[in-house]
Amino acid sequence: MNDNLPRVSVKFEGFWNRFDLALFQKLYPFFAQRCQLVESNEPRLYVASVFGDSCYRENAVEYGRNAKRRWPRAVRLFVTGENVAPPLDDFEFAVTFHRDVFSDRHLRWPWFIAHMRANDIGLDSLIKRRQADDESCRRDKFCAFIASNGCARKRVEFVRRLMGYKHVDCPGAVLNNMTSETLGQAGGLRGAHGKIAFLKDYKFAVCFENDSTQQAEGYVTEKLVDAMLAGCIPLYWGDLQVGKDFNMESFVHFPGNDVDEMVEQVKDLDRNEEKCKHISFAPWFVSNTVPAQFDDEVASRFFNRVIAAARTA
């Protein structure tokens, strides 16, 4: 910590149990470059999320309005890993998944970026090195599925049907059929390395989001990225506009809801070595470069505005 930087008092609400200031600064390191954040019950910066809430939108609004009443001078920042539209009527700034909000008070920063930061994995780790690209085609194990949320019925139904073709290993809480110890340290935001190491033995990985987003919501989480980092062929269902973030030729994308059709597609691919190689050699990012929208400079400009507003609050 640089003691010469100005101090900004901060208050957090709506995060998970083990969340703390150190983790926040790891997820968003731009703060440590410009100021010293100090937790306080009299904040100049109020940061809220809706982790684990069932009524995401309603609770986001409530957090913002309550904060306005309690700390009328504080700058309110909303950040989320859930599929929540940016509540800019109740927060001065917001960090969400949404693609269609064109405001300097909003940053589209998908949760997979925060997930990678928490595990000290750079986005350049998703640049393909050709000598390793066909590894997935030579793997002996068929498919893995790791999930803790059993409420997402589409992916549970898909995995059950896929098991009618070949065995799917499920070390997570959902459809568990093997010990979770095989994942190593896979729990929580910082547990990506155990999950990735586990997936490296598999040809395919099921990467279904909790929700399917149809238009501009942009809900793309770490599920797809973890499979990519493990070198699997991801089986993805979720954001219909995912091609705006990743190269659609590098994974299997299910745009519809017909589970039987999805399973047939996987069966055909599993039997077609040439198709598997084509997918495996395709870069994760278009042109095999990190998209400009995910450049640190984009985020840095946004957080500079947040910090400047908090310092003058």
Q: In terms of domains, do 277 and 303 share one? A: no
Cα separation, 20 vs 12, in Å, equals: 9
Domain of 189, CATH number, reads 3.40.50.11660
Whose tokens are 């599929």? That residue is 83
Cα separation, 231 vs 242, in Å, equals: 18
Q: Which run of H or of E encompasses 226? A: helix 222-229
Q: In terms of domains, do 245 and 103 share one? A: no
Q: What CA–CA distances, in Å, run from 76 to 72, 94, 99, 164? A: 10, 8, 21, 50
Q: Is the pLDDT of residue 132 over 60?
A: no
Domain extent, residue 86, equals: 7-118+293-311
Q: What mean pLDDT comes out for the span 151-171?
A: 95
Is-contact 81 51, C-beta < 8 A? yes
Is-contact 11 41, C-beta < 8 A? yes
Q: In terms of domains, do 306 and 186 share one? A: no
Token pair recorded at residue 210: 């909790």
Q: In terms of domains, do 178 and 91 share one? A: no
The pLDDT value given to residue 143: 98
Q: In terms of domains, do 201 and 216 share one? A: yes
Q: Is the pLDDT of residue 184 over 70?
A: no
Band the pLDDT of 186: cuts 50, 70, 90.
Answer: very low
- The mean of the pLDDT values for the chain is 90
Domain of 37, CATH number, reads 3.40.50
Q: In terms of domains, do 135 and 92 share one? A: no
Token pair recorded at residue 214: 């149809």
The pLDDT value given to residue 188: 56
Band the pLDDT of 182: cuts 50, 70, 90.
Answer: low
Q: Is residue 28 part of a domain?
A: yes
Domain count, the chain: 2
Q: In terms of domains, do 135 and 278 share one? A: yes
Q: Is the pLDDT of residue 130 over 70?
A: no
Q: In terms of domains, do 93 and 235 share one? A: no
Band the pLDDT of 292: cuts 50, 70, 90.
Answer: very high
The pLDDT value given to residue 129: 77
Lowest mean pLDDT among 53-57, 86-90, 117-121, 301-305: 53-57
E strands in the chain:
7-13, 36-39, 45-48, 75-79, 93-96, 106-108, 141-144, 168-169, 202-208, 233-237, 252-253
Lowest mean pLDDT among 131-135, 197-201, 214-218: 131-135
Token pair recorded at residue 26: 């790891």
Token pair recorded at residue 39: 């937790």
Q: Is residue 123 part of a domain?
A: no
Tell me the CB-side half-sphere exposure of residue 35, using CA atoms within 13 A. 23
Q: In terms of domains, do 140 and 233 share one? A: yes
Cα separation, 287 vs 269, in Å, equals: 24
Q: In terms of domains, do 217 and 232 share one? A: yes
Angle at 7 between CA 6 and CA 12, to 5 degrees: 140
Q: Is residue 2 part of a domain?
A: no
The pLDDT value given to residue 311: 93
pLDDT in tens, 28-41: 999 999 999 999 99
Cα separation, 204 vs 97, in Å, equals: 26
pLDDT in tens, 237-268: 999 999 999 999 999 999 999 999 999 999 99
Q: In terms of domains, do 297 and 275 share one? A: no
Cα separation, 313 vs 46, in Å, equals: 11
Cα separation, 261 vs 256, in Å, equals: 9
Q: In terms of domains, do 17 and 96 share one? A: yes
The larger pLDDT score, comparing residue 188 to residue 91, is at: 91
